[in-house]
Amino acid sequence: MEGATLSVFVTIQKIYYPLLCVIGIPGNLFTFYMICFRNCGMSSTAIIYLSCLAIADIFYLVWVILIDLTLTFWTLQPFWHSYPWCSILGFLQYGSLYSSSWIVVVFTIERYLVLRSTAVKQHLSQTRVTKLTCIAIVLVSHLVSVPLAWINIVTPVNLTVNGENITLPRCRYRNETYTTVIVWITTFLSGGIPIVLVIIFNYLIGYHLCNASKLFTKEECRVMQGKSTRGMLRRTILLLGTVSVAFVVLSLPRFVTYCILRTKYNNENFNRNDYSIPINVAGDIANMLQNLNSTTNFLLYCMVSRRFRQELVQVLTCNEKALELGSVLTNTTMKVFSVVDHKASSSSNPVSVVLTSLKPTE
């Protein structure tokens, strides 16, 4: 019974990872096209950050899910179980993982700073600054990943295939102290620290919006937004909570299991493919969640935008104008993550509003 259950779990992964590639790679490519070449109502800085995020996720899907995990479950001897691919693949995988995680972190911090200070907004709203920031993130991410090229070693391993004992080279973790140290640092840089920063700055954004709403009376907010202050604020915080919870829920299990696997079980004799050991099953489930995060980032950060949905309908239906899509995530959904300059915004029914006697309201 136990063997049958483990066989089902392996079969699920054999289907799951190719499916992520089939959905995730075209999905991120399509998102890149939508963000860069369609008018989705995002600021120039948001376009740069989100397009870079889509590219980073594509490379992560290729290096980790397609070349590593898919080949692991579908072939007996993937090509990266030999030099120099054993070292190169680790470097490329962590470079893309760092890039994806820290683009999200820096983008979240930038949104908070833009909301917090007008002077900072004028500086950070320059596309040149944003492009240099994204380039720096990618370069630093891959530079920090260089030590990871030395944590693996190709060693001969005895395997039983179709009842026959054979010896094949395998890319395995080195049983060395410095390997454990590097893995600890890597785990916190790619998982622990980004998770904490995303939670903190999303909370600060929500806190700032709460205080900012108190500068206007309820009537003034209704004229400006066409919504009640309380309802607008609830939807904004709901979005921030959704983004934060999704990132934490999908990333935290891998952070925990990876720490356990690469410390307590970080030795050459440990069989990572033995699913009778609970930590192996937990580790693979955590990996499935982490990889799902890279596949669905475009949904979390783009599909919540009403303008994005309208442009999507235009592309899919070849209509000149998209239908008006009603949703609880409308006016306030992407305002935190894609602040559009007032000069670029327009409205079919412009309304001039003069605010007088501004005072905090309870």
Mean pLDDT of the region 23-46: 85
245 vs 135, residue with greater confidence: 135
Place of tokens 């140290």: 181
302 located within any domain? yes
Contact criterion met (CB below 8 Å) for 286 and 256: yes
7 located within any domain? yes
pLDDT for 197 beyond 50: yes
CA 165 to mean position of chain CA atoms: 42
Per the structure, the complete domain to which residue 281 belongs is given by 1-158+176-317
Highest mean pLDDT among 245-249, 251-255, 357-361: 251-255
Spatial distance between the Cα atoms of 110 and 338, rounded to a whole number of angstroms: 10
117 located within any domain? yes
pLDDT recorded at residue 326: 41
For 104, the enclosing helix (H) or strand (E) is helix 85-116
223 located within any domain? yes
Three-class secondary structure of residue 156 per DSSP: strand
Whether cis (ω within 30° of 0) applies to the bond prior to 84 is yes
112 located within any domain? yes
Mean pLDDT of the region 2-15: 79
Place of tokens 């994005």: 308
pLDDT recorded at residue 63: 94
Highest mean pLDDT among 61-75, 120-134, 335-349: 61-75
The tally of domains found in the chain comes to: 1
243 located within any domain? yes
Tokens describing residue 269? 């004799």
pLDDT for 122 beyond 60: yes
Highest mean pLDDT among 90-99, 257-266, 299-308, 347-356: 90-99
For residue 357, name the pLDDT band (cuts at 50, 70, 90): very low
Question: CB atoms < 10 A from the CB of 330, how many?
Answer: 19
Three-class secondary structure of residue 265 per DSSP: coil
User: Which phi and psi (to 5°) does residue 340 adopt?
Assistant: -95, 135
Global pTM reads: 0.78
For residue 58, name the pLDDT band (cuts at 50, 70, 90): very high
Nearest to 321 by CA among 311, 307, 331: 311
pLDDT recorded at residue 52: 93
Dihedral angle sign, alpha carbons of residues 275, 279, 284, 289: positive
pLDDT tens column, 274-306 = 888 888 889 889 989 988 888 876 676 556 666
357 located within any domain? no
pLDDT recorded at residue 266: 66
Mean pLDDT of the region 118-142: 85
pLDDT for 179 beyond 70: yes
Spatial distance between the Cα atoms of 186 and 128, rounded to a whole number of angstroms: 30
Tokens describing residue 249? 């829920």
Cα torsion 332, 53, 252, 94 to 10°: value is -170
Q: Can you give the CATH number for the domain in which 92 is found?
A: 1.20.1070.10
pLDDT recorded at residue 62: 95
Residue % of the chain over a pLDDT of 70: 71
Q: How far is CA 204 from CA 85, 188, 210, 211, 264, in A?
A: 43, 22, 10, 11, 36
Lowest-pLDDT choice from 15-29, 95-109, 211-225:
211-225
246 vs 292, residue with greater confidence: 292
pLDDT tens column, 201-221 = 888 887 877 776 655 555 555
337 located within any domain? no
Name the maximum alpha-carbon separation found in the chain. 85
